[in-house]
Amino acid sequence: MFDYLIVGAGFAGSVLAERLASTENKKILIIDKRSHIGGNAYDYYNEDGILIHKYGPHIFHTNSKEVFNYLSKFTDWRNYQHKVLACVDGQQVPIPINLTTINSLYGLNLSSQEVEGFLASKAEDIQQVRTSEDVVLKAVGRELYEKFFKGYTKKQWDLDPAQLDASVTARVPTRTNKDDRYFTDTYQAMPLHGYTKMFEKMLDHPNIKIMTNTDYHEIIDAIPYKKMIFTGPVDEYFDYCYGKLPYRSLKFKFETLDQEQYQQTGTVNYPNDYAFTRITEFKYLTGQKHAKTSLVYEYPKAEGDPYYPIPRPENAVLYKKYQELAAQSGTYFVGRLATYKYYNMDQVVAQALSTFKKIQTEISDETLYNETSVSNEY
């Protein structure tokens, strides 16, 4: 008898498995339909000996000291601040848009104060910001919107930014200084020996049993357990009774080159050219020294593994129906797929830790109830 059956061995499932096993001494079975643990953060050494991310680049960043300290139990870190260039008008310029971006694109020599005025002169007066297009037009105007955002968003989502929730482009700020870091979080680092090693250490506990290449439908009636934690797609759990929740997927094309370096920085975006959205060179992320280098090209597509919940009002309405079923099911739903929301890795860890505290309270209440019942019998 397992205390918890956890479906999915990514961040959400692995954090909850570790916490319940080590803190509450619970017996855990964690399963995953893929052949490995780590979810989308899984990394491995390719045939050339270069550490690559199987499901595209995963760059860790957080403002949460709790999340960073928790993960630090299972890995040492390599300090890394991610930088991204965008290929626009034949130039490669920093994204998010900053002072250098504007000066390079327009052949200017503006100061921080002057670029603020420049962007204000381009910005459109939009009273009610509803869509991703509104966000960008209000911040930087139509010309920069066309150069950096419209094409990239159309490729990524197969929708015009005017059809997407404001949250999509609101994630990318605009800066008036020369800060060219993609993220500005307090903690920015990569697991020193990779994500998979971190997950292996997290799940290395005698109370935790792991089954990969396993669909939970195959074992759910054969293996006894008390409670389930589900991190897969919430619509799948309920047999798509209200219909499928829409996602965007990705196709990855990997390439190893017989040279030490290919591009100027970790990631280069291609908002207006080519079918792919970006190229990432892994050695920037991992710090690995190697005579060759490996790249990944990302091609957004409609079908395939579910990566990005599509933020549109009608999809939120559909998810709400599943959320109501989930609340009545007795199962815990945790993570991006289970709660149909685009989370960064640290946000999934934070959600899992929060769910653990809730479960811990329930365990404590149950223990107190049982002790009270026994004492009343005597």
Tell whether the model's pLDDT for residue 191 goes beyond 60. Answer: yes
Residues 32-50 have a mean pLDDT of: 98
Q: How confident is the model at residue 371 (pLDDT cuts 50, 70, 90)?
A: low
Residues 262-290 have a mean pLDDT of: 98
Q: What is the dihedral of CA 362, 366, 368, 369, to 10 degrees?
A: 130
Selection from 79, 58, 77, 76 nearest residue 11 by Cα: 58
CA 72 centroid distance within chain? 19
Integer Cα distance of 77 and 252 in angstroms: 26
Tell whether the model's pLDDT for residue 174 goes beyond 70. Answer: yes
Selection from 242, 254, 251 nearest residue 302 by Cα: 251
If DSSP codes are grouped into helix, strand and coil, which group holds residue 86? Answer: strand
Q: How many Cα atoms sit within 13 Å of 259 on the Cβ side?
A: 7
78-104 pLDDT, tens per residue?
Answer: 999 999 999 999 999 999 999 999 999
Q: Are 330 and 227 in contact (CB under 8 A)?
A: yes
Q: How confident is the model at residue 369 (pLDDT cuts 50, 70, 90)?
A: low
Integer Cα distance of 29 and 232 in angstroms: 15
- pLDDT at position 172 is 84
pTM of the shown model: 0.94
Q: How confident is the model at residue 372 (pLDDT cuts 50, 70, 90)?
A: low
Integer Cα distance of 298 and 23 in angstroms: 40
CA 269 centroid distance within chain? 18
Domain 1-37+203-244+310-378 has CATH 3.40.50.720: yes
Selection from 78, 95, 49 nearest residue 284 by Cα: 78
Residues 257-270 have a mean pLDDT of: 98
In the chain, where the domains are located = 1-37+203-244+310-378, 84-170
297-335 pLDDT, tens per residue?
Answer: 999 999 999 999 998 999 999 999 999 999 999 999 999
Q: What is the dihedral of CA 133, 322, 338, 349, to 10 degrees?
A: 80
Residues 6-35 have a mean pLDDT of: 98
What region, left, alpha or beta, does residue 272 occupy, with left being phi > 0 and alpha being psi -120 to 50 degrees? alpha
Phi, psi of 18 (to 5 degrees): -60, -45
- pLDDT at position 66 is 98
- pLDDT at position 376 is 54
Helices in the chain by DSSP H: which ranges?
Answer: 11-23, 65-71, 99-106, 112-122, 132-144, 151-157, 167-170, 195-202, 216-219, 234-237, 282-286, 313-329, 336-339, 345-377
Which tokens belong to 233? 């797609």
Bridge partners of 7?
A: 31, 230
- Burial class of residue 51, CB neighbours in 10 A (0-12, 13-18, 19+): buried
Which tops the pLDDT comparison, 52 or 364?
52
Q: How confident is the model at residue 248 (pLDDT cuts 50, 70, 90)?
A: very high
Q: How confident is the model at residue 206 (pLDDT cuts 50, 70, 90)?
A: very high
106-155 pLDDT, tens per residue?
Answer: 999 999 999 999 999 999 999 999 999 999 999 999 999 999 999 999 99
Q: How confident is the model at residue 378 (pLDDT cuts 50, 70, 90)?
A: low
If DSSP codes are grouped into helix, strand and coil, which group holds residue 61? Answer: strand
What is the per-residue DSSP string for 357-369? HHHHHHHHHHHHH
Q: How confident is the model at residue 368 (pLDDT cuts 50, 70, 90)?
A: low
- pLDDT at position 170 is 83
Phi, psi of 149 (to 5 degrees): -110, -45
